[in-house]
Structure 1
Amino acid sequence: MEQTLAEPRNRYSTVSLVLHWVVATMVLCQVLLITVHEAQEGPDPFVGLHKAGGVTILVLTLIRILWLLANPAIALPDRMPRWEKLFARATHVLFYVALIVIPLTGWLASSAGGREFTWYGLFQWPLLPIGGGRDTARDLMDLHEIAVKGLYVLIFLHVAGALKHQFIDRDNVLHRMIPIIPRRP
């Protein structure tokens, strides 16, 4: 019997779905928090939430990578061209790289600048043993911001690819990640 995309073993696991959507939601919150922070004058609580969110994304991404190593990604549709499969996989790998590099450079910048922060007010997050002061912190923040711009490109490509699969290819790829979307016959 030929396996179709609607069969459960061809859908992402609940753990994969939860990690994907929690991290995606947190990334959106990060963008909103830093946008509000940049619009503020004087001290504001948003940068602390942004930092806590960043290290949470880092930890969740590492968990997601470990989960992926133990539970390999499901196969892309056979009818997808080879170049498209390579592009999709490369985009996913770059997502993981960005979701590690962005919070790590932010954490390193905070550490270099000696700027302590708490994890959602519950406990002090440890600073990394890096010196360099403001100049190093500024250089790391430049890298952080460049990586964020790269993440925006990846998000655009990811969403555009998902919409292409849903509305042009009509191949149920999006149904695998958003189970509430009805499966196409």
Structure 2
Amino acid sequence: MTNKTLNNTARTWGAVARAFHWGLGAAIIGMIAYGWWMNHFPARADRFFYRSIHADIGYLVLLFTALRLIWKVANPTPSLPEKTPAWERTLARFNQWSLYALTILVAGLGWAHSGAHKPDYADFFGLFRVPQFTVENRAASRFYEHWHIYIAYALLALIALHVLAALYHRFIRKDGVLERMIDGRA
């Protein structure tokens, strides 16, 4: 692979940005589904185990979202097709940055919940302890957990809007926007 295919260009997404996009997309949707499942099965002795796995993957989502943003700042964002109306450009930028912001917020609230919960979810796959920035507090734990869930649903709504916009570009506009993220075609 040449450097050119790894990096974004003014016309298309590079391999690294595409890998971040699809990997984080799958992880975030999987985490929302897993979180819903986890909160809708009856309390069991192994409930802490499932919540710990959720927290561990959440730490990774936060890390990779930060790396994705660093990569985004260091690479050009491909332009939308010339005939794209200004309102669509504005909505696309707003949705994209909102996806990043809510992903960070959901993960941050989950991390805050971890430190406030007893026992915490700081043991990262048994390898090391993730530093916690909140202290044990039952009321705060519930607050962080509830907002973690509410914002996750808002994030899911933004993801649905993002997917609908991609399908709109693919099947109605037929302007190649989706293909740029699938295989990097300009």
TM range (shorter): 0.7 to 0.9
Q: Could you tell me whether the CA contact under 8 Å between 1:118 and 1:124 is conserved in 2?
A: yes
Alpha carbons of 1:40 and 1:31: their partners in 2 closer, same or farther (altered >3 Å)? farther
Q: Distance in 2 between matches of 1:167 and 1:87?
A: 19
1:37 alignment partner, SS class: helix
Q: Which residue of 1 aligns with 2:61?
A: 57
Q: Could you tell me whether the CA contact under 8 Å between 1:51 and 1:107 is conserved in 2?
A: yes
Q: Which residue of 2 aligns with 1:41?
A: 43
For the pair 1:96 / 2:97, whether they are aligned, the reply is no
Q: Could you tell me whether the CA contact under 8 Å between 2:115 and 2:122 is conserved in 1?
A: no
Cα deviation digits, residues 74-117 of structure 1 (max 9, x gap): 11111100000000000000001011000100101111224133
Cα deviation digits, residues 33-76 of structure 1 (max 9, x gap): 22332214312322111101111111111111111111131111
- Which sits farther off after the overlay, 71-80 or 31-40? 31-40
Q: Could you tell me whether the CA contact under 8 Å between 2:122 and 2:129 is conserved in 1?
A: yes
- Which sits farther off after the overlay, 69-78 or 80-89? 69-78
Q: Could you tell me how far 1:160 is from its partner in structure 2?
A: 0.4
* Structure with the larger RCO, 1 or 2 (CA within 8 Å, 6+ apart): 2
Residue among 107, 111, 124 paired with 2:129: 124
Q: Distance in 1 between matches of 2:53 and 2:76?
A: 33
Q: Distance in 2 between matches of 1:77 and 1:34?
A: 37
For the pair 1:168 / 2:175, whether they are aligned, the reply is no
Unaligned runs of 5+ in 1: 1-7
Identical aligned residues as a percent: 29
- After TM superposition, the structure 1 = structure 2 runs for residues 1-150 of structure 1, keeping only pairs within 5 Å, are 9=9, 10-38=11-39, 39-42=41-44, 43-44=46-47, 45-114=49-118, 115-128=120-133, 130-131=134-135, 133-150=137-154
Q: Which residue of 1 aligns with 2:163?
A: 159
Q: Could you tell me whether the CA contact under 8 Å between 2:32 and 2:152 is conserved in 1?
A: no
For the pair 1:179 / 2:183, whether they are aligned, the reply is yes
Q: Distance in 2 between matches of 1:47 and 1:57?
A: 15
Q: Could you tell me whether the CA contact under 8 Å between 1:117 and 1:125 is conserved in 2?
A: yes
Q: Distance in 2 between matches of 1:107 and 1:117?
A: 9
Cα deviation digits, residues 9-37 of structure 1 (max 9, x gap): 32201110111111111112212322332
Q: Could you tell me whether the CA contact under 8 Å between 1:112 and 1:137 is conserved in 2?
A: yes
Q: Distance in 2 between matches of 1:126 and 1:73?
A: 34
